Amino acid sequence: KMEMDHVFSCENVKFKRDFIQQTTNPPLIFNDLIELATSLEGVCHDGSTNHMPTVDDLHILIAGTECKDFSSLSSSRKGINDNGKSGNTFWATHTLVKKLKPCIIILENVAQCPSKEMELAFEDIGYTVMHTKVCTSDYYLPQSRSRA
């Protein structure tokens, strides 16, 4: 068993923010990752503006960037540097990682995401990267979604 503190979340979709609040209830739920990464402050789900907490011992950052632009189901796929939501949220996560310097990053996305480019981006800032693909149904979730 591992103890941990859920310090903050960031989600721009209201029903997903509501789910986070109901299931894990972190002290802060920011609305916009890009805003947060730029200034380390942002508007939260309750309408207040807050600074991101000072986290001197942040060990793990878990993030899932926007995935629509990377999805094989998208009619207008975009790459990591094509100024789409998927690439922009990835780079915002990358910026946040550079500022916070967590020991471990767990990044989730669709199986067709540009994983090699993502890996290189984190290697360039000093991280050792491991990539794996998983399917949600292998973990007893009632769907079959391949994730990278």
Torsion, CA 27, CA 31, CA 35, CA 39, rounded to 10: -10
SS3 33: helix
Question: Among residues 44, 67, 113, 135, which one is catalytic?
Answer: 67
Phi, psi of 43 (to 5 degrees): -80, 135
Say which amino acid occupies 22.
Q
Does residue 10 have an active-site annotation?
Answer: no
Determine the Cα–Cα distance for residues 122 and 21; give it in Å rounded to an integer. 29
Strands 9-10 and 29-30: parallel
Strands 29-30 and 41-43: unpaired
Determine the Cα–Cα distance for residues 30 and 57; give it in Å rounded to an integer. 20
Q: Please identify every residue annotated as catalytic.
A: 67
